[in-house]
């Protein structure tokens, strides 16, 4: 029960924060994109790769075929808008001033734009570079009735700190990443509920089925992560949280390796998701920190007071650096793996020169397939490894916060014995 509650808390926090924090930067079409000029589309590796690793309001399958996801939009000036992403017809229809721009919902800035369902036609939405406040920025534009309307992305909680900001609307939709987190959480509750029932039913018997598969993993996390890192006295209290972290990250990583629905979402390769996970670790660590933990941060014992002027700010900065390193490590490793695999697949199109060279496409297929298969095996290992690293570091931070310092008395006793021994030696001489 504790595991389920911890997991649901983890899921709800990640779900609500990801939907508002991550604007899901759209891939930026180049002049090769037929959406901007109506020419025959050519393969642009950067746009394609960034499009695949970005979050979206639909699961794209092939061509114009996609699986729609629920849309929940809110603008203070017009209230809520509900529906499915299919109502935008892949960017060919505007609904109440909202359009689908490369998989993500944008809103027309100009409020004079018609409300209701508006047919836009093909390639109405495109990107264009403009100078804003002395900087080159790529803006989303909508062409309608010979006029171009500027588009804006959803509001983000960072307030512009990392590129987002507060705009005229909020997107609480179920995106690919949110759907995958919900699915991972549902499967975890289902799987561990089944394991719990097996323990109750086969008490005293040898494990079987899912129980025999997951028990070694549970024992490994308990004996190699929580118990040694947090300590014998406190580890049981934090075992559910560390287990939830490990299996939630693991399931999301494994779903990301599946190239088709219900996989293909780059969950832990999205920095908003890893930020939520790292923030949870930050909260659990510091809310459970004892007086010795905070004493070492603000006034480390045995350190001269003038040194504390330098040391205390460094220790306080460490409170932020530790979860920040967790966030970046998981995000960078998973995102980099996806980029490498997509780059290898892209060799087929680059070698084939967009269909002009059959021999080149064949060579690209051979090379790309071989290396992609190898990278997928590496990514399978990384999926487990990154879940383990995140969990063991989180456990070590928590362990440092709740560690008992009873051994200081022993150290003081040893110090007295050492002084006594030195005095005896001096007396003999």
Tokens of 231: 């300590």
Band the pLDDT of 5: cuts 50, 70, 90: very low
Query: Is the predicted pLDDT of residue 14 greater than 50, yes or no?
Result: no
Looking at residue 137, its pLDDT comes to 66
How far lies 252's CA from each of 126, 247, 383, 388, in Å?
Answer: 32, 8, 9, 13
- Mention every residue, 6+ apart, whose C-beta is less than 8 A from residue 175: 18, 19, 24, 55, 56, 57, 69
Looking at residue 241, its pLDDT comes to 92
Beta bridge partners of 125: 142
* DSSP assignment string, 100-121: EETTEEEEES-TTS--SEEE--
Mean pLDDT to the nearest integer, 295-312 = 78
Looking at residue 162, its pLDDT comes to 55
Band the pLDDT of 8: cuts 50, 70, 90: very low
Maximum Cα–Cα distance for the chain, whole Å? 104
* Range of lowest pLDDT (84-93, 121-130, 185-194): 121-130
Query: Is the predicted pLDDT of residue 62 greater than 50, yes or no?
Result: yes
pTM: 0.78
Share of the chain above pLDDT 70, in %: 76
Looking at residue 318, its pLDDT comes to 85
Identify which has the larger pLDDT, 7 or 202: 202
């Amino acid at each position: 029960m504790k595991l389920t509650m911890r997991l649901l808390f983890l899921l709800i926090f990640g779900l609500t924060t990801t939907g508002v924090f991550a604007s899901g930067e759209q891939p930026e079409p180049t002049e090769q994109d037929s959406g901007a000029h109506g020419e025959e589309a050519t393969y642009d590796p950067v746009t394609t790769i960034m499009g695949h690793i970005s979050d979206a309001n639909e699961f794209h399958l092939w061509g114009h075929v996609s699986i729609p996801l629920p849309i929940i939009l809110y603008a203070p000036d017009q209230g809520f808008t509900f529906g499915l992403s299919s109502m935008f017809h892949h960017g060919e229809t505007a609904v109440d001033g909202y359009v689908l721009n490369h998989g993500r919902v944008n809103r027309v800035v100009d409020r004079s734009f018609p409300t209701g369902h508006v047919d836009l036609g093909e390639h109405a939405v495109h990107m264009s570079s403009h100078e804003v406040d002395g900087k080159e920025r790529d803006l989303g534009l909508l062409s309608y009735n010979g006029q171009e309307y500027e588009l804006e992305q959803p509001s983000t909680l960072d307030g512009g700190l990392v590129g987002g900001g507060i705009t005229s609307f909020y997107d609480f939709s179920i995106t690919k990443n949110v759907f995958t987190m919900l699915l991972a959480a549902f499967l975890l509750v289902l799987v561990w509920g089944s394991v719990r029932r097996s323990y109750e039913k086969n008490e005293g018997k040898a494990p079987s089925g899912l129980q025999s598969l997951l028990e070694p993993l549970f024992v490994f996390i308990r004996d190699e992560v929580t118990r040694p890192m947090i300590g014998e006295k406190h580890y049981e209290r934090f075992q559910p949280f560390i287990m939830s972290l490990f299996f939630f990250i693991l399931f999301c990583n494994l779903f990301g390796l599946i190239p088709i629905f219900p996989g293909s979402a780059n969950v832990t390769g999205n920095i908003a998701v890893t930020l939520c996970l790292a923030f949870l670790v930050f909260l659990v660590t510091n809310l459970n920190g004892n007086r010795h933990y905070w004493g070492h941060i603000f006034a480390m014992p045995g350190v001269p007071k003038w040194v504390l002027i330098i040391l205390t700010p460094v220790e306080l900065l460490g409170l932020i650096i530790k979860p920040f390193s967790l966030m970046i490590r998981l995000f960078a490793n998973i995102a980099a793996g996806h980029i490498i695999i997509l780059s290898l697949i892209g060799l087929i199109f680059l070698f084939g020169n967009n269909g002009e060279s059959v021999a080149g496409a064949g060579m690209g297929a051979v090379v790309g397939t071989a290396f992609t298969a190898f990278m997928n095996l590496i990514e399978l290992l990384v999926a487990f490894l990154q879940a383990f690293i995140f969990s063991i570091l989180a456990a070590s931070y928590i362990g440092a916060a709740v560690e008992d310092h009873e051994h200081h008395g022993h150290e003081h006793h040893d110090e007295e014995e050492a002084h006594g021994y030195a005095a005896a030696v001096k007396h003999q001489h």
